[in-house]
A and B are shown apart, each in its own frame.
Chain A
């Protein structure tokens, strides 16, 4: 009888512990979802602006600054690329530890050659990545981003793109670290990035 009772109490104890642990975990997850930091890994297979197949493995061990856009984008993308160029400049001798990636959400128009024009003009060591529509969709799913064609008669091909405009930071292990909303000044991004890299 005594053993049964002891076992019962031990079970109650375990159950109570499990309950508390579950509650805390749920809280922690909710907080993570709230600040958008629910962990995920950067995963992709795309062609870079020099025609080479690239995956996240190629950039392992370095921080990745990832931005999505398209070469025909006149405002959001050049603005962000200009900010990234300023961030890379501000990193100075730490710049080789950070790889900026510009991933196209417009596989129809963005050939590697079209991406090359863009990346060379910015001259900030940015790697432009594009792929087939399937590869682009898969990349979008993996990064939890959104993009869509929008009709615009006077634009090349008659359309423009709406797309997620955050700048994402991934750590040397490929895990998501944080994102900045479009329009965050380069100075703020640089300060944040330096802090993450040194902690």
Chain B
């Protein structure tokens, strides 16, 4: 009995210390609905999509990502001007407010996977790691769907 009470007290004292620890924000990041399309060989860049939700109380900043699948992985933003011309460019650091979800989705943003090290095969998945400004890293397994997939459900 005594022992249990002491552990509880320790946990209570420890909780705030953990909450203000090194990875204050990014350990509250939840990544959902990750998906990608199969590639044709390795000569062309691939793309991956996902939703990044900040379930915490403070803003987090997504600074970059990496994967052993590609030499260079970047988040790109797609913009379409009033003439209907679409372009993509690196999105830079992305700040996610508490409770907010950033959709990395076709037509908005994509994770551009450049210099593929192996083909992206339907039915497989590959690991991707998101990096945050507080030093936190969030690993995401990304399923590879068919080449004509239109969303996380295929």
A8-16, A39-47, A76-84, A170-178: which lies at the B interface?
Answer: A76-84
The answer to whether the Cβ of B93 comes within 8 Å of any Cβ in the partner chain is no
In the complex the two chains form, what is the Cα distance from A103 to B44 in whole Å?
A: 18
B105 → A minimal CB distance (Å): 10
The answer to whether the Cβ of B30 comes within 8 Å of any Cβ in the partner chain is no
Q: A82, A86, A147: which has the most chain B beta carbons within 10 Å?
A: A82
Chain B residues 7 to 60 lying within 8 A of chain A, measured CB to CB, are 37-38, 40-41, 43-47
Could you say which residues of chain B place their CB within 8 Å of the CB of A118? 40
The answer to whether the Cβ of A193 comes within 8 Å of any Cβ in the partner chain is no
The answer to whether the Cβ of B72 comes within 8 Å of any Cβ in the partner chain is yes
What is the number of contacts between chain A and chain B, taking CB atoms within 8 Å? 91
Is A78 a contact partner of B37 (Cβ separation < 8 A)?
A: yes
Could you say which residues of chain B place their CB within 8 Å of the CB of A86? 148, 150
Could you say which residues of chain B place their CB within 8 Å of the CB of A181? 80, 84
Chain A residues 66 to 121 lying within 8 A of chain B, measured CB to CB, are 71-72, 74-76, 78-79, 81-83, 85-86, 117-118, 121
In the complex the two chains form, what is the Cα distance from A71 to B40 in whole Å?
A: 10
A183 in complex: contacting residue of B71, B74, B88, B106, CB < 8 Å: B106
B76 in complex: contacting residue of A71, A75, A79, A81, CB < 8 Å: A75
Interface residues on B, range: 20 to 34
Interface residues on A, range: 35 or more
Is B150 a contact partner of A182 (Cβ separation < 8 A)?
A: no
Is B80 a contact partner of A165 (Cβ separation < 8 A)?
A: yes
Is A75 a contact partner of B84 (Cβ separation < 8 A)?
A: no
Is B47 a contact partner of A75 (Cβ separation < 8 A)?
A: yes
B61-69, B108-116, B124-132: which lies at the A interface?
Answer: B108-116
Could you say which residues of chain B place their CB within 8 Å of the CB of A83? 150
Chain B residues 83 to 134 lying within 8 A of chain A, measured CB to CB, are 83-89, 106-107, 110, 112-115
Is A179 a contact partner of B84 (Cβ separation < 8 A)?
A: yes
Is A82 a contact partner of B78 (Cβ separation < 8 A)?
A: no
The answer to whether the Cβ of A122 comes within 8 Å of any Cβ in the partner chain is yes
In the complex the two chains form, what is the Cα distance from A147 to B150 in whole Å?
A: 25
In the complex the two chains form, what is the Cα distance from A146 to B78 in whole Å?
A: 16
Could you say which residues of chain A place their CB within 8 Å of the CB of B106? 75-76, 79, 183
Q: A78-B47, A154-B71 are in contact. Are A182 and B37 (CB under 8 A)?
A: no
A160 in complex: contacting residue of B41, B46, B88, B113, CB < 8 Å: B88
Is B85 a contact partner of A165 (Cβ separation < 8 A)?
A: yes
Q: Which residue of B lies closest to A180 (CB)?
A: B84
The answer to whether the Cβ of A52 comes within 8 Å of any Cβ in the partner chain is no
Could you say which residues of chain B place their CB within 8 Å of the CB of A62? none
Q: Which residue of A lies closest to B70 (CB)?
A: A154
Could you say which residues of chain A place their CB within 8 Å of the CB of B71? 154
In the complex the two chains form, what is the Cα distance from A122 to B37 in whole Å?
A: 11
The answer to whether the Cβ of A186 comes within 8 Å of any Cβ in the partner chain is yes
The answer to whether the Cβ of A124 comes within 8 Å of any Cβ in the partner chain is yes
Is B148 a contact partner of A156 (Cβ separation < 8 A)?
A: no
B45 in complex: contacting residue of A72, A147, A165, CB < 8 Å: A72
In the complex the two chains form, what is the Cα distance from A86 to B147 in whole Å?
A: 12
In the complex the two chains form, what is the Cα distance from A83 to B106 in whole Å?
A: 11
B150 in complex: contacting residue of A154, A179, A186, CB < 8 Å: A186
Chain A residues with a Cβ under 8 A of chain B: 71-72, 74-76, 78-79, 81-83, 85-86, 117-118, 121-124, 146-147, 150, 154-156, 160, 162-166, 179, 181-183, 186
